[in-house]
Chain A
Amino acid sequence: SYELTQPPSVSVSPGQTASITCSGDRLWDKYASWYQQKPGQPPVLVIYQDKKRPSGIPERFSGSTSGNTATLTISETHPMDEADYYCQGWDSSTDVVFGGGTKLTVL
């Protein structure tokens, strides 16, 4: 089965840049998406197709994929960006796959 691996946690200081990685075999071919989930709320799509940003998502959020790693980058990190972040890919054999999630702490 296909798997996506994320670091359990990432810490960043306010105003700095946070990078969250997601690793998986041939991820460059899996149309990576990223979701933000705050406590008690459903996930919100913040990046799709590796680097596209849905309307309403700040430009501070960006995505990239190279080889087997997708990266979500949050520039000028705000305290409100503190949340769990999940990557998601699509594989022809298993359809949708989520990474295990990364808790972003802004301190």
Chain B
Amino acid sequence: QLQLQESGPGLVKPSETLSLTCTVSGDSISSHSYYWGWVRQPPGKGLEWIASVYYSGTTYYNPSLKSRLTTSVDTSKNQLSLKLRFVTAADTALYYCARGSGYRFDFWGQGTLVTVSS
């Protein structure tokens, strides 16, 4: 049974780097059939796509976040990670990891809340 578990610091200070990990169980992150995505949702607001990551290393980033983003895949741990630099209060959100198939995300993790505050 597929499970996606996001983990992160919970609280990050402004101007620092937000680091998140998504641990995949029940499927291989190296699967040729899928890719993996990050999506965030500010409190009370809508969904915002962050990035799509392929095990091969190919990545697609939201243009509005691209300059601050780094993603990676660790196949040995079946994990993907996200780093967002120079965070502000506008980066406060529930961050989701999701499995991508074709042009959609067919399975989502429960999300991890990240608050940016001093």
Contact = CB atoms under 8 A, between A and B. Distances in A.
B46 A86 contact: yes
A61 interface: no
A10 interface: no
Given A95-B52, A95-B60, A48 B47 contact: no
A101 B46 CA distance: 6
B51 to A, nearest CB: 9
A41 B85 CA distance: 27
Interface residues of A, number: 25
A34 B101 CA distance: 14
Contact of B103 (A86, A90, A100): A90
Given A1-B63, A94-B63, A86 B106 contact: no
Interface of B: 37, 39, 46-49, 52, 60, 62-63, 96, 102-111
